[in-house]
Amino acid sequence: MKKESKYKFETKAIHSGYDSTKHLDSLAPPIYQTSTFTFSSLEQGANRFAGAEGGYVYSRLSNPTVTILEERIAQLEAGEAALAFGSGMAAVSAVLIGLTKYGDHILCSKGVYGCTFGLLQILKEKYNIDHSFSDLATKEAILSHINENTACIYIETPINPTMTLVNLELVVSVAKEKGIIVVVDNTFSTPYLQQPLQLGCDLVIHSATKFIGGHGDVVAGLIAGDQELVGQLKKTVQKDIGGVIAPFDAWLLVRGLKTLAVRMDRHCENAEKIAAQLKEHPKVKAVYYPGDRDHPDYELMKKQMKKGGGLLSFELNGNYEQTVKAVNQLKLISIAVSLGDAETLIQHPASMTHGAVPEKVRKEMGISNELLRLSVGLESWEDIWQDLKQALDSV
Ligand code: LCS
């Protein structure tokens, strides 16, 4: 599975997939802002279409700037190949459509991002592709949800926004016995903190809009895995549905990846400190952060992740109205969805990212009306905490 490279993660994040000598010695990769590529003869065009000759054809099929990004993320995820998409949801939908057929079943982690939940409803209502949710916590729990139509297991870990983890090695051991593909949405962890392919999972998905871009200025998605599976998805659902990334957006992600390791270290450091402060505040009822020693999945976090990540959730010691009041008092922290940016962002999952999930299902997922999700940014942690503290003190 692993594409050999003698370099460590931080070095690969800056160099892999790009050779300046092939691009007029330009240190920064060029943006190939072109829709199509010219052929020197009809025969050459026919050969490129047939795959008998290398070279580019048309930017929905591939583009040199996008190739740099795909090769880089493949290396960082320890995969053989990768594909870039125009959004995280374009990647999620390509994968789920690509892996299933009419009558199949998808087994999901206990919670998934609200639009992934929406996509699962579409697949069920229009294409008879069923799904079920499970905490996937024991072999028995996993087996009890698998049937002969189960085509894949789809996992978020940590789960958005409850911050619960799924034991990937356990799921892989059961899935392998049954010949079922394991897909992991690695958006919250990034390959710096967690590498599901190394643990035996088959495909990794990212909303690259988040930590991979890192600057809140691009919407994009990525997948990585082995050559055969990724190649199949490239030739089918990526080419024929066509949710590809634009060259400039690919360029922004190549740039973002260069600083991923240092940014993630700071996101984690700040989140650890904010979680510790929140836990001590009298107005806070509960804090959910996998990097916190008291989190039920702390030991699992240490096993399958490098650190606890940049996201945490918490609930106030109060009702919904007090929660609203506290959030509206914030001055530095922005009220916004998305995550993984330099700016600290706070959102209310029940009315925002998971607002489309029916209340009963939301409760089963662990999303109360008082739950707030914080994407801890790169500012001084003291400034972030002072802002949170004054807001909490005010209710
Ligand atoms: N997967 C996860 C875990 C996500 O959190 C998101 C977006 C997606 C996939 C979809 O990616 P997109 O198409 O937006 O690039 N999550 C969001 C969130 O929590 N707040 O705003 C968007």
**So what's the pLDDT on residue 288?**
98
Q: Which of 156, 157, 160 to mutate to test the pocket of ligand 1 (most atoms within 8 A of CB)?
A: 160
pLDDT surpassing 70 at residue 300: yes
Q: What is the C-alpha to C-alpha distance for residues 249 and 311, in angstroms, rounded to an integer?
A: 24
**What pLDDT is recorded for position 4?**
53
Contact 377, 345 (CB under 8 A): yes
Whether 88 lines ligand 1, by a CB cut-off of 6 Å, is yes
The answer to whether the bond into 29 is cis (omega within 30° of 0) is no
Q: Could you tell me the residue ranges of all domains in the chain?
A: 7-258, 261-393
Q: CA torsion, points 1, 229, 61, 245, in degrees to nearest 10?
A: -80
Q: Is the pLDDT of residue 5 over 90?
A: no
pLDDT value at 316 more than 60: yes
Q: Do domains 7-258 and 261-393 have the same CATH topology?
A: no
- Give yes or no for residue 3 having a pLDDT over 50: no
Q: Is residue 304 within a helix (H) or strand (E), and if so which, with residue range?
A: helix 298-304
Q: Please give the average per-residue pLDDT across 305-325, as a whole number.
A: 97
DSSP code of residue 267: H
Residue 173 tokens, joined: 């051991």
User: CA-based Rg of the chain, rounded to a whole angstrom?
Assistant: 21
CATH fold for domain 261-393: Aspartate Aminotransferase, domain 1 (3.90.1150)
For ligand 1, the distance from its centroid to the CA atom of residue 280, given in whole angstroms, is 30
Q: Strand 203-207 relative to strand 334-335: parallel, antiparallel, unpaired?
A: unpaired
Judge whether 56 counts as a catalytic residue.
no
First CA to last CA across the chain, in angstroms?
A: 53
Average pLDDT over residues 326-333: 98
Q: What is the mean pLDDT of residues 51-79?
A: 97
Phi, psi at 154, each rounded to 5°: -115, 120
Residue 60, pLDDT score: 98
Rounded Cα distance between 383 and 376, Å, is 11
Per-residue pLDDT tens digits for 203-212: 999 999 999 9
Span 171-188, mean pLDDT? 98
Q: Is 94 in the pocket of ligand 1 (CB under 6 A)?
A: no
> Is the distance from CB of 203 to CB of 184 less than 8 angstroms?
yes
Class in CATH terms, 7-258 = alpha beta
Confidence of residue 42 (pLDDT cuts 50, 70, 90): very high
Task: Report the nearest atom of ligand 1 relative to the CA of 221.
Answer: 15
Q: Is the CB of 156 under 6 A from ligand 1?
A: yes
Query: CA 116 to CA 122: how far, in whole Å?
Result: 10
What does the pLDDT read at residue 104?
98
Is the C-alpha dihedral spanning 289, 293, 298, 301 positive or negative?
positive
Pocket perturbation via mutation, ligand 1, pick of 92, 93, 113, 371 by most ligand atoms within 8 A of CB: 113
Which pLDDT belongs to residue 236? 97
Q: Which of 68, 65, 63, 55 is nearest to 18 (CA)?
A: 68
What are phi and psi for residue 203, nearest 5 degrees? -140, 145
Q: Evaluate if residue 90 carries a pLDDT over 90.
A: yes
- Kindly report the average pLDDT of the chain as a whole number: 97
What pLDDT shows up at residue 1?
A: 36
Percent of residues, the chain, with pLDDT higher than 90: 98
For the stretch 243-291, pLDDT in tens is 999 999 999 999 999 999 999 999 999 999 999 999 999 999 999 999 9
118-128 tens-digit pLDDT: 999 999 999 99
Asked if residue 278 lies in contact with residue 287, where contact means CB atoms within 8 angstroms, the answer is yes
